[in-house]
């Protein structure tokens, strides 16, 4: 027999044995990986079940639901008391309105005064946004007793009540720049400073989005003008 032929046959056999062994090892590795994945999945399912049955998580969820329910009930009660809208009241209603809730903003106005109409517009816009405060208006001509008691000399006059006590007032537009074109936001900031309303987080986010979109629009317009040149 040719020695070279024998050597070649033995080499082929050895190579074949190596490939068989490698294939067997590879198959074992794949099986091990599948087993590990199945085990991890089972652990995840167990962890989810444990979380769902976690009494602490259930308590937090129940507390959150209770808080939301309480907040909804509070909002409904405030609406029943006249919050959430800008309403006209009479002199006979005045005491009950300003003493029946914690914070009240009352606008003493005259029907023919232009600046009173401007103040009306802004207060009407703010009332539904700040449910925690009652917004009302009273015709000064039809409320001579309280106009005298509160020493109201100039209209519009917006008086701030807390727990039935007049704590501050806004006379004319003196704290709003003295001009007719002040914004609702300017009045809102003033009321925040006087602690007559609370900060509206949602509205702040909407304002931020508005300013960001406006800046994008301005930039786009500038870029378009540059391109046209």
> What's phi and psi for 113, nearest 5 deg?
-85, 125
CA distance 191 to 122: 12
Instruction: State both tokens at 204.
Output: 């702040």
pLDDT digit string (tens) for the chain, length 229 residues:
555 554 555 455 455 555 556 666 667 776 777 766 665 555 555 555 666 667 777 777 777 777 677 667 766 776 777 789 999 999 999 999 999 999 999 999 999 999 999 999 999 999 999 999 999 999 999 999 999 999 999 999 999 999 999 999 999 998 999 999 999 999 999 999 999 999 875 455 445 554 455 555 445 544 545 444 4
Identify whether 4 is part of a domain. no
Spell out the residues 6+ positions from residue 118 whose beta carbon is closer than 8 angstroms to its own.
180
Identify whether 176 is part of a domain. yes
Give the distance from CA 137 to its chain's centroid. 29
Identify whether 21 is part of a domain. no
Identify whether 27 is part of a domain. no
Identify whether 169 is part of a domain. yes
Identify whether 138 is part of a domain. yes
Question: Is residue 186 a contact partner of residue 118, using CB atoms and an 8 Å limit?
Answer: no
Identify whether 121 is part of a domain. yes
- Domain limits for position 177: 84-194
Q: What is the CATH number of the domain that holds 133?
A: 3.40.30.10
CA distance 14 to 16: 5
CA distance 176 to 102: 25
Question: Is residue 117 a contact partner of residue 107, using CB atoms and an 8 Å limit?
Answer: no
Domains: count for the chain: 1
């Amino acid at each position: 027999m040719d020695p070279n032929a024998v050597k070649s046959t033995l080499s082929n056999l050895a190579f074949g044995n190596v490939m068989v062994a490698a294939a067997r090892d590879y198959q074992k590795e794949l099986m091990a990986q599948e087993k590990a994945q199945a085990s991890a999945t089972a652990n995840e399912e167990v962890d989810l079940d444990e979380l769902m049955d976690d009494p602490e998580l259930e308590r937090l969820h129940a507390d959150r639901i209770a808080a939301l329910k309480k907040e909804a009930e509070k909002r409904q009660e405030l609406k029943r008391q006249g919050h959430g809208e800008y309403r006209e009241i009479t002199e006979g209603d005045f005491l009950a309105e300003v003493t029946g809730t914690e914070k009240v903003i009352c606008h003493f106005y005259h029907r023919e005064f232009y600046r009173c109409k401007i103040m009306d517009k802004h207060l009407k816009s703010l009332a539904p946004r700040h449910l925690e405060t009652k917004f009302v208006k009273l015709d000064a001509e039809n409320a001579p007793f309280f106009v005298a008691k509160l020493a109201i000399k100039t209209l519009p006059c917006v008086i701030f009540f807390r727990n039935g006590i007049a704590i501050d007032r806004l006379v004319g537009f003196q704290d709003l720049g003295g001009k007719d074109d002040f914004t609702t936001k300017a009045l809102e900031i003033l009321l925040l400073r006087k602690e007559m309303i609370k900060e509206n987080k949602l509205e702040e986010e909407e304002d931020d989005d508005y300013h960001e979109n406006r800046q994008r629009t301005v930039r786009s317009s500038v870029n378009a003008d540059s391109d046209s040149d």
